[in-house]
Amino acid sequence: MTLRYLSTKLAGAGFALTVFFMYLLFVENFNLYNFVETISNWWIWGIIFVYGIISSSIIDWLSKKWSIINSNKIVAYILAGFLFFFIFGISIFAVIAGIVGAIVAVIFLSGVWLAKHSKKFTTVFIIMPLFFLVLIQFDFTVKKGWQETRNDEEYRATFKHFNGEHKIPFELDRGDVLTYTVNFYSNNGGGYGNSFQSEQRNLMGQTLLDDYTLQVEIEKAGTYNIVLTGDKLAGSFTVTWTIEKALNK
């Protein structure tokens, strides 16, 4: 595989990624926090760059052996993009994802063709994914009129506008049991949610005790966060908690 060949594949993948991400930005109504959260999904990157480049290279290899594939490359790309999602089983999700995958595959093919005919195009769309990787590093949370209070068992916040996330950190030991209740109060119909994450942003398994109360047992000592999210929300939230310390501490 020559450097020029690889560069056209990288540019094709970068072009497909860029077009797909621009579509997502439009769907998210240019909400940068939601957009960055979506493009932080490494599955998207892996499918387009790893699966996309490998399957494209296989199609090129097959097209040299069978003229029917060479003359129907666009069909081969559509099938490669569509059928991938049926690995996970036949479902409505697989059909919808497959259609999106087929469209992205055609965009990938278009990008490869354009890269073969333009070094500027190649350069731009090899660089563009790097721009998105930098963008992922920033937090686009917006808070306006934010007022908060916290003590050992409660956190309260009121705000005129909350779009993004807010973390309530805890230093917990192995065997500790955290039980917490979250209540949101929306004044404008904005969206909201909450999760429990490790310091590395890994979602932690929880037990739902009732509609508002969750419980989690800590398996490894470290910093953990109750993460509150708002989607153009005005109002307030209250979080209360108890921590049952490990007996063997």
CATH code for the domain in which residue 157 is found: 2.60.120.380
Render each residue's pLDDT in the chain as its tens digit; 249 residues: 688 899 999 999 999 999 999 999 999 889 999 999 999 999 999 999 999 999 999 999 998 888 777 778 899 999 999 999 888 788 898 899 999 999 999 999 999 999 999 999 999 999 999 999 999 999 999 999 999 999 989 999 999 999 999 999 999 999 999 999 999 999 998 999 999 999 988 989 899 998 889 999 999 999 999 999 999 999 999 999 999 987 655
Residues 107 and 7 in one domain: yes
Together in a domain, 156 and 126: no
**pLDDT value, residue 1:** 60
| Residue 190 falls inside a structural domain | yes
One-letter amino acid at 120 equals K
Question: Could you tell me if residue 171 is inside a domain?
Answer: yes
Sequence-separated (6 or more) residues with CB below 8 Å from residue 120? none
Instruction: Tell me the pairing of strands 154-172 and 147-150.
Output: antiparallel
What does the alpha-carbon distance between residue 17 and residue 131 come to, in Å, rounded to a whole number? 12
* 81 and 204 together in one domain: no
- Phi/psi of residue 37, nearest 5 degrees: -60, -40
**Count of domains observed in the chain:** 2
Contact between 235 and 163 under an 8 Å Cβ cutoff? The reply is: no
3-state per-residue secondary structure call for the chain: CCHHHHHHHHHHHHHHHHHHHHHHHHHCCCCHHHHHHHHCCHHHHHHHHHHHHHHHHHHHHHHHHCHHHHCCHHHHHHHHHHHHHHHHCCCHHHHHHHHHHHHHHHHHHHHHHHHHHCHHHHHHHHHHHHHHHHHHCCCCCEEECCEEEECCCEEEEEEEEEEEEEEEEEEECCCCEEEEEEEEEECCCCEEEEEEEECCCCECCCEECCCCEEEEECCCCEEEEEEEEEEEEEEEEEEEEEEECCCCC
Among residues 112, 136, 160, which one ends one of the domains?
136
* pLDDT (0 to 100) of residue 243: 94
Q: Are residues 132 and 157 in the same domain?
A: no
Q: How far apart are CA 163 and CA 182, in angstroms?
A: 17
Instruction: Say whether both 132 and 148 belong to one domain.
Output: no
Position 232 in a domain: yes
Q: 86 and 19 in one domain? A: yes
Domain-embedded: residue 249? no
156 with 226, same domain? Answer: yes
Alpha carbons 126 and 118: distance in angstroms, whole number: 12
In terms of Cα–Cα distance, which of 44, 29, 240, 60 is closest to 153?
Answer: 240
Does residue 199 lie in a domain region?
yes
Query: Which range marks the domain in which residue 227 is found?
Result: 142-244
105 and 73 in contact (C-beta within 8 Å)?
Answer: no
Q: Are residues 40 and 112 in the same domain?
A: yes
120 plus 164 within the same structural domain: no
pTM over 0.85: no
Judgement on whether residues 157 and 120 belong to the same structural domain of the protein: no
The phi-psi region of residue 186 (left if phi > 0; otherwise alpha if psi is between -120 and 50; otherwise beta) is beta
My answer on whether 125 and 157 are in the same domain is no
Domain-ending residue, one of 88, 104, 136: 136
User: In the listed set 87, 107, 136, which residue is the last one of a domain according to the structure?
Assistant: 136
Q: Looking at the domain assignment, is residue 203 inside a domain?
A: yes
Considering the domain boundaries, does residue 161 fall inside one?
Answer: yes
**Which residues lie below 8 Å from residue 85, measured CB to CB, with a gap of 6+?**
93, 94, 97, 98, 101
Q: Which residue has the tokens 């599955």?
A: 43
198 inside domain: yes
| Whether residues 117 and 223 fall in one domain | no
